[in-house]
Amino acid sequence: MVENYKEILYDNETLSTPRLTLRKFRKTDAEDVFEYGSDAETLEFLVWEGLKTADDAKVAIVNYYWSRPGFFAIEREGKCIGCIDLRMLPEHEKATFGYVLNRAFWGQGYMSEALSAVLALCFEKLELNRVESEHYVGNEGSGRVMEKCAMQREGLSPQKEKIKGTFRDIVHYGLTRDMYFEKRRNT
């Protein structure tokens, strides 16, 4: 892993994909963030309790999203349609991530496109050894996003967490540096 990972994150605060721009959040994203952050179906499999007002979204952007390196707004044609949040664990030379997309844009390959760009940042620029994440059973679309980006299903932890009153099984996914570059050589 590179030693100056904060500088690499700084230098890559904007990522481009064929249809999307991943960039820092702006105060003007508040209405868009409120749109997905207040939708009950979108929040079902998230620990996040969501947002009550657009003003809550603005406060979250200013106090938290904007200043967190690796916290990307996903922009499509000028609209913020979601976010992908890369969390570094430098002591293990690895990272994890979370993501959420406005429901109006589900099923069109957007999150797979965003995650591919973040994985390229992780392995090709930050030179991490591993990236991992997880999803709750029932939220199989999220597992499919990770599979489409070459991540491997590693196992299941039964009833691992109590989320919004329900015990949830968790499915773990991971991708090592070796697997990432092997996959890239073969495609």
Ligand X SMILES: CC(C)(COP(=O)(O)OP(=O)(O)OC[C@H]1O[C@@H](n2cnc3c(N)ncnc32)[C@H](O)[C@@H]1OP(=O)(O)O)[C@@H](O)C(=O)NCCC(=O)NCCS
Binding site for ligand X (CB under 6 A): 42, 45-46, 99-101, 106-112, 135, 139-142, 144-145
Nearer to ligand X, 34 or 110 (CB): 110
- 84 CB-contact burial (10 Å; exposed 0-12 / middle 13-18 / buried 19+): buried
95 pairs with which residues across the strands? 88, 131
- The answer to whether 114 touches 74, Cβ cutoff 8 Å, is yes
Residue 24 CB, shortest distance to ligand X, in Å, is 20
Residue 4 CB, shortest distance to ligand X, in Å, is 30
Residue 185 CB, shortest distance to ligand X, in Å, is 23
Q: Where are the alpha helices (DSSP H) in 74-163?
A: 110-120, 140-148
Residue 116 CB, shortest distance to ligand X, in Å, is 9
Nearer to ligand X, 10 or 48 (CB): 48
Nearer to ligand X, 33 or 145 (CB): 145
Question: How crowded is residue 134: how many other Cβ atoms within 10 Å of its Cβ?
Answer: 21
Closest CA to 83 of 53, 57, 59, 120: 57
Nearer to ligand X, 5 or 73 (CB): 73
